[in-house]
Structure 1
């Protein structure tokens, strides 16, 4: 589903580029999900007070394949710039390598069905009938065809002659996407201003900090071994595997850092970071969560298993707890393990859904009042295509007795593009974290948007030891490593900047963060500053770091009232 959502994300981004005209909105709405079909001949919509308008599918096909604008289509697209027209043409014609099996599994999954029912209220079979069934059929048939899955192909295979566009709902969806993609620019500008102000308060840091002594981006000198470790997760009654990176020849037990991957991912995506931290004397355990890992998720997309259930919000933190319990038992009972691990000093790193996992383990509590408030609107009245919120509302059926999933052994948490702050946890839930927290936020993240999922959760933290690292050009995948055995075959246009420009930040800042809060080495706090960030920053992938950005500043930047 990560791959399918990746394609969906491309469509969401392109909605906003297509423009302010009614035609731009119309095509933008179709971009949200998929492509054209042979049965459909027209897209018809009302634009009060001017009346009814019609777009012909054949005109779109000629434009997409040959770049020619018919006189009818020029009426709609003639006002767009050449760049916008090229973007639209690329959007219509780009082929996505998704099999019909994968497309069907996504279309019949709970999240896929929600998205298509919402899109079906915009692209209708009749002016009153949801186009959900037609969209699902067109999506699967397009993926199965020789032409492959394209937006144009989906439209062409829409199994009715006329697609009725509900323009008001399309505009509503456009407004939400615009806010997610553009409002964050204002917030990022305010965050960068605060980061600069913090830098100016400590001008001596620039003089005293020599980034080459040591250069935290470079591999350390500690030798380590990699072992495969399995343990029983008793609640699931399944055995879970983890990659253990164990430093050699240390004079004392090593603090442990546990890495929790995101949805449809696996430990390989953080292999580069696991090795880096091990080379500085940290033990690292990177586990593969059942149900939400790449292996089980691939089985789901192949039609061999069910979609992940809401209980994963509880089970994922428990996966980590049982791992720590098992390792703790080995340290207590087996001499060979006794001097290897310090399980009273545990740090966590989590990405996306793994970000939620580590925040919950660090003390954030599930906030059912927030979940009920955010997810109480009946489905027919929702036009939102915010994937992060849809995912979180899937957890509204959870047992309200399981609100506290924290673990006393956890001493510091690093969350990369975390999911869950806006709805699952909310302000009350985030305020329960009492340990140091660092949050990475990416400006181009369309799966866990920065404003609701990282910026607000950061300003809600009450612990003074908190760090927000913002990457305006970052994506949801900027800090991952490609995995040959994963299902997240994400195209370069979604991944963003190359890893040689993105991974050095993760290496340096995670090392400084855990040296400071697991090894109690306060000299590394000088690396946890905006001055240091600017010293290592690349113009191709800029970043800023703030510790004091407030909720009032965030609200003001978004033109919202406290």
Structure 2
């Protein structure tokens, strides 16, 4: 066992909170954090000078200076030219490689990078990367890799690049194991192929369903008019502290005008569970629309996984992306909100409307989609969870980094179902490893699952399309946003007060159209499943969904996707 140098601290220090300060003030602290990592591996602080490309017993060495010259000028040095005679890369691919090496990750600041790399999820990702990126002695050292990423980020102000990481690697050379790299590439290519095949299948089934049950232009016009006619209420927004919840909830309540008669049993209740890093305001657009149609909507703020939790991580005030207990706490907070509202109503609360607790729906996105599924009856499948975690190869499914944290739970088998929930809408949900086939099969209430074809956080195939086939509920709908990303349905993701300002390329094209589609589909789904209003059933048919945005923003809906159909297109 190597001894620590005398001037090294006995353990890696944690960043201290420095709220509301520019990130540059963290640079010395971050440098110390990275230096502590170097001390733990007992190596001298130096920059890598060579890149060793190895494949079994064969290896080639490239000076980092040659790569720097290529990035700076766009021209290959004589040594790089010699190597390229073997690879025969065309100029277009060389230009692409140069761009990859030099493009800064502008939305990632050093504090956030450092904090993430010290979380469980960050360390799992680093461990996977060290299968490919190794020390000269062929050792997968994630501490050295972490130090390189942090130091590379600290040394620049415009966003860290891959070249910055190469420059900052704390050993004399970096070894790239091509055999492992090819294995990882093969897995990623396989995942991309499966995803593409699955998305194509959903689109094909949707077209077939639309052709089998078409709608005339007059019928389409009548359905759009029905949607407009259903919006008969104003909306009263109230921020209210509910007993047992750490943060206030937003209540979007139908505002009854003089002459209007509210439902005698009260307004159906819909609760919204936001995703990781969002908050109770993230779905204002959806809550307002549903409230105007006669639903009482309550948006919960999950304190353990909201934007404040993410900001605390980025600022160094917590070491966890989410606490382990958040997997249990989220569904429990929704149930607690129902209990609190019911108690307030029973004791003559001053709330301006009555709730119908016999008609309850839940909307959730991403981690909130997991929350909705758990409330609907999905249970943890420990065999699947431990089989998937930790991922054996670099995963094309980043959501597994979050899901695998649930392996830390002491008692994950407790039931989180709330039998009062009658219907759910799960947008970009995660849960393939958490619930597995057995857990999804326990859901028996109506479910609408929304998936995005370009989702790189919770990819469509492993997280929505495949799990959809595991559902046993007879009333299930799969909606696919043809151009959607993980962020398309989240409102105001470009707002300046977000923990990470997402660029438009990450958000994806026309989120306004995606959100408009969610308003239409959520209204139809809950009118049909909570109010049993069959007039809205054609709105959850493939022909209507196809016509919402036409070719401008293609949407697809299928109810017929099956395990057998999916298996037939995924055959090697």
Sort the TM-score into its range (normalised by shorter chain): 0.7 to 0.9
| Residue number in structure 1 paired with 2:174 | 163
Q: How many Å separate the matches in 2 of 1:211 and 1:334?
A: 41
| Residue number in structure 2 paired with 1:293 | 306
Q: How many Å separate the matches in 1 of 2:230 and 2:219?
A: 23
| Residue number in structure 2 paired with 1:188 | 199
| Residue number in structure 1 paired with 2:19 | none
Q: How many Å separate the matches in 1 of 2:229 and 2:544?
A: 15
| Residue number in structure 1 paired with 2:371 | 357
* Aligned: 1:388 with 2:399: yes
* Aligned: 1:511 with 2:530: no
- After superposition, the Cα gap between the structure-2 partners of 1:141 and 1:279, relative to the gap in structure 1 and judged at 3 Å, is same
Deviations 1:248-283 (A, max 9, x none): 115122111111111111122211111121221211
| Residue number in structure 1 paired with 2:105 | 96
Q: How many Å separate the matches in 1 of 2:143 and 2:153?
A: 16
* Aligned: 1:527 with 2:539: yes
Q: CA deviation at 1:38?
A: 7.8
* Aligned: 1:332 with 2:335: no
**Of 125-134 and 435-444, the range deviating more from structure 2:** 125-134
* Aligned: 1:271 with 2:284: yes
**Of 155-164 and 532-541, the range deviating more from structure 2:** 532-541
Whether the 8 Å CA contact 1:192–1:544 is kept in 2: the answer is: yes
Give the alignment partner of residue 322 of structure 1, picking from 292, 314, 336: 336
Provide TM-score, normalisation by structure 2: 0.85
Q: How many Å separate the matches in 1 of 2:527 and 2:496?
A: 31
Q: SS in structure 1 opposite 2:246?
A: strand
Q: How many Å separate the matches in 2 of 1:444 and 1:130?
A: 32
Deviations 1:146-203 (A, max 9, x none): 3541111111111122101122221222222223333211111111111122112213
* Aligned: 1:254 with 2:267: yes
Q: How many Å separate the matches in 1 of 2:118 and 2:532?
A: 50
Whether the 8 Å CA contact 2:115–2:319 is kept in 1: the answer is: no
- After superposition, the Cα gap between the structure-2 partners of 1:279 and 1:100, relative to the gap in structure 1 and judged at 3 Å, is same
Deviations 1:6-54 (A, max 9, x none): xxxxxxxxxxxxxxxxxxxxxxxxxxxxxxx9812222122358x3223
Q: How many Å separate the matches in 2 of 1:386 and 1:199?
A: 31
Whether the 8 Å CA contact 1:317–1:405 is kept in 2: the answer is: yes
Q: How many Å separate the matches in 1 of 2:363 and 2:271?
A: 6
| Residue number in structure 2 paired with 1:144 | 154
Whether the 8 Å CA contact 1:392–1:423 is kept in 2: the answer is: yes
Provide TM-score, normalisation by structure 1: 0.86
Q: SS in structure 2 opposite 1:445?
A: coil
| Residue number in structure 2 paired with 1:173 | 184
Q: How many Å separate the matches in 1 of 2:46 and 2:64?
A: 9
Q: CA deviation at 1:372?
A: 2.5
Deviations 1:276-331 (A, max 9, x none): 21221211111110111111221122111241222211111001011110001111
Query: Rg: which structure is higher?
Result: 2
| Residue number in structure 2 paired with 1:43 | 51
Whether the 8 Å CA contact 1:127–1:166 is kept in 2: the answer is: no
- After superposition, the Cα gap between the structure-2 partners of 1:82 and 1:333, relative to the gap in structure 1 and judged at 3 Å, is farther
| Residue number in structure 2 paired with 1:448 | 458
Whether the 8 Å CA contact 1:388–1:447 is kept in 2: the answer is: yes
Q: How many Å separate the matches in 2 of 1:540 and 1:152?
A: 39
| Residue number in structure 1 paired with 2:96 | 87
**Of 332-341 and 456-465, the range deviating more from structure 2:** 332-341
Whether the 8 Å CA contact 1:314–1:402 is kept in 2: the answer is: no
Listed as ranges, the gaps of 5+ residues in structure 2 are: 1-44
| Residue number in structure 2 paired with 1:429 | 439
Q: SS in structure 2 opposite 1:85?
A: helix
| Residue number in structure 2 paired with 1:9 | none
Q: How many Å separate the matches in 2 of 1:61 and 1:273?
A: 49
| Residue number in structure 1 paired with 2:4 | none
RMSD over aligned Cα atoms:
2.4
* Aligned: 1:231 with 2:242: yes
Q: CA deviation at 1:533?
A: 1.4
Deviations 1:103-122 (A, max 9, x none): 21111111111111221231
Q: How many Å separate the matches in 1 of 2:280 and 2:68?
A: 43
**Of 103-112 and 92-101, the range deviating more from structure 2:** 92-101
Whether the 8 Å CA contact 2:49–2:64 is kept in 1: the answer is: yes
Give the alignment partner of residue 72 of structure 2, picking from 61, 65, 87: 65
State the number of aligned residues: 515
1:357-506 counterparts in 2 under 5 A?
A: 357-375=371-389, 382-384=393-395, 386-400=397-411, 402-420=413-431, 422-481=432-491, 482=493, 483-506=495-518
Listed as ranges, the gaps of 5+ residues in structure 1 are: 1-36
